[in-house]
């Protein structure tokens, strides 16, 4: 299957964006809480997938959470504690760019957490997520898959593109030699945390554009009917000539010249 081109992608995404806006209006109107987890290998395309969901939504309602390395104080807390603070309130949508599953992935493979910590996490996470869903949070967990050849291609692209070079980190580079280790860690994590109330969904992201469309379509299909009629507003005549904007002290910036 050939890679999806930009023009075709944008045409296919547009109706999905309309449905996402409807979803957000539905969540705000009904007080629903939506939480979506994006996990996957480095370069899988989590950022692009999150933008596909959030691009047309109000950032005050749809929050993207990408937590940095935990501070010493956070390292002393219950592992899930710093994530709980970012869970959605009524009418909100939270998109986790990586999540508490760092413990079973990056932290395990890179040796940032020991076997005892990892085992405790795997024991606790099904109960933790059941508490979330029992309380009414709509929880969706996506794992973005990508082959090693694609990962290499994207790492090389990041290195060569000065506008993408910021994405490279020592952890990303170390992942090149740990592809199989990440696979084993993922399979063990899926086996322990794929539950009836909080199942995992794997999406092929070798073609990132096609993967985004697949993920968004799946997310929308798993929600109940989100149609909310837009408000009815009548725009009467002003009854006078419309006012023009005026400037007092500051001078307006001249239009950018286009040759």
- For residue 39, give the CATH number of its domain: 3.40.50.300
Dig out the tokens for 38 from the structure. 């994006």
Looking at the domain assignment, is residue 15 inside a domain?
Answer: no
Q: What mean pLDDT is predicted for residues 34-60?
A: 96
Q: How far apart are CA 256 and CA 27, in angstroms?
A: 40
Q: Write the pLDDT tens digit of every residue in 199-234.
A: 999 999 999 999 999 999 999 999 998 888 877 888
Percentage of the chain modeled with pLDDT above 90 = 72
Cα(132)–Cα(169) distance, integer angstroms = 32
pLDDT at 214: 97
Angle in degrees, 0-180, between the axes of helices 179-193 and 115-134, rounded to the nearest 10: 40
Sort 156 into a burial class: Cβ within 10 Å, 0-12 / 13-18 / 19+: exposed
| Count of alpha carbons within 13 angstroms of residue 202, beta-carbon side | 10
Where in the sequence is the domain holding 91, given as residue range(s)? 22-221
Q: What is the pLDDT at residue 162?
A: 85
Neighbouring-strand partners of residue 138: 34
Three-state DSSP at 149 gives helix
pLDDT in tens, 66-100: 999 999 999 999 999 999 999 999 999 999 999 99
Domain-embedded: residue 259 = no
Within a domain: 246: no
* Residue 197: other Cβ atoms inside 10 A: 12
Helix (H) or strand (E) holding 143: strand 138-145
Total domain count for the chain?
1
Residue 250 has pLDDT above 80, yes or no: no
Which of these, 63, 139, 137, lies nearest to 101 by C-alpha position? Answer: 139
Residue 259 pLDDT grade (very low, low, confident, very high; cuts 50, 70, 90): low
**Domain assignment of residue 2, yes or no:** no
Give strand pairing partners of 34.
Answer: 93, 138
| Gap between the Cα atoms of 253 and 215, Å rounded | 42
**Cα separations (Å) of 86 from 92, 138, 224?**
11, 14, 24
Cβ–Cβ < 8 Å for 42, 153: no
In a domain, 185, yes or no: yes
Displacement of CA 82 from its chain's centroid (Å): 17
Is the pLDDT score of 3 beyond 90?
no
| pLDDT computed for residue 234 by the predictor | 81
pLDDT at 164 over 90: no
Instruction: With CA atoms as reference, report the closest residue to 42 among 127, 102, 129, 130.
Output: 102
Domain assignment of residue 164, yes or no: yes
8-40 pLDDT per residue, tens? 999 999 999 999 999 999 999 999 999 999 999
The torsion angles phi and psi of 81, rounded to 5 degrees, stand at -60, -45
Do residues 211 and 204 lie in contact, with contact meaning Cβ atoms separated by under 8 Å? yes
Flag whether 48 is in a domain.
yes
The torsion defined by the Cα of 168, 174, 175 and 178, in degrees rounded to 10, comes to 170
Is 6 a member of any domain? no
């Amino acid at each position: 299957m050939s890679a999806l081109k930009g023009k075709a992608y944008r045409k296919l995404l547009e109706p999905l964006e309309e449905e996402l806006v409807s979803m957000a209006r539905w969540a705000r109107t009904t007080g629903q809480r939506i939480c979506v987890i994006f996990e996957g290998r480095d370069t899988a395309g989590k950022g692009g997938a999150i933008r596909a969901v959030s691009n047309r939504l109000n950032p005050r309602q749809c929050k993207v959470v990408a937590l940095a390395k935990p501070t010493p104080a956070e390292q002393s807390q219950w592992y899930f504690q710093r994530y709980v603070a970012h869970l959605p309130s009524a009418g909100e949508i939270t998109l986790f760019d990586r999540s508490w599953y760092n413990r079973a992935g990056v932290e395990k493979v890179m040796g940032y957490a020991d076997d005892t910590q990892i085992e405790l996490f795997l024991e606790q996470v099904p109960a933790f997520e059941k508490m979330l869903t029992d309380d009414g949070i709509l929880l969706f967990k996506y794992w973005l898959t990508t082959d090693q050849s694609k990962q290499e291609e994207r790492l090389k692209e990041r290195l060569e593109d000065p506008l993408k070079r910021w994405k490279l980190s020592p952890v990303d580079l170390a992942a090149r030699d740990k592809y199989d280790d990440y696979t084993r860690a993922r399979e063990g994590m899926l086996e322990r945390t794929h539950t009836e109330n909080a199942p995992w969904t794997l999406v092929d992201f070798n073609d990132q554009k096609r993967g985004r469309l697949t993920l968004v379509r799946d997310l929308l299909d798993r929600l109940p009917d989100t149609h909310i009629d837009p408000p009815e507003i009548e725009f009467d005549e002003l009854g006078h000539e419309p006012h023009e904007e005026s400037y007092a002290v500051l001078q307006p910036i001249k239009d950018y010249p286009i040759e």
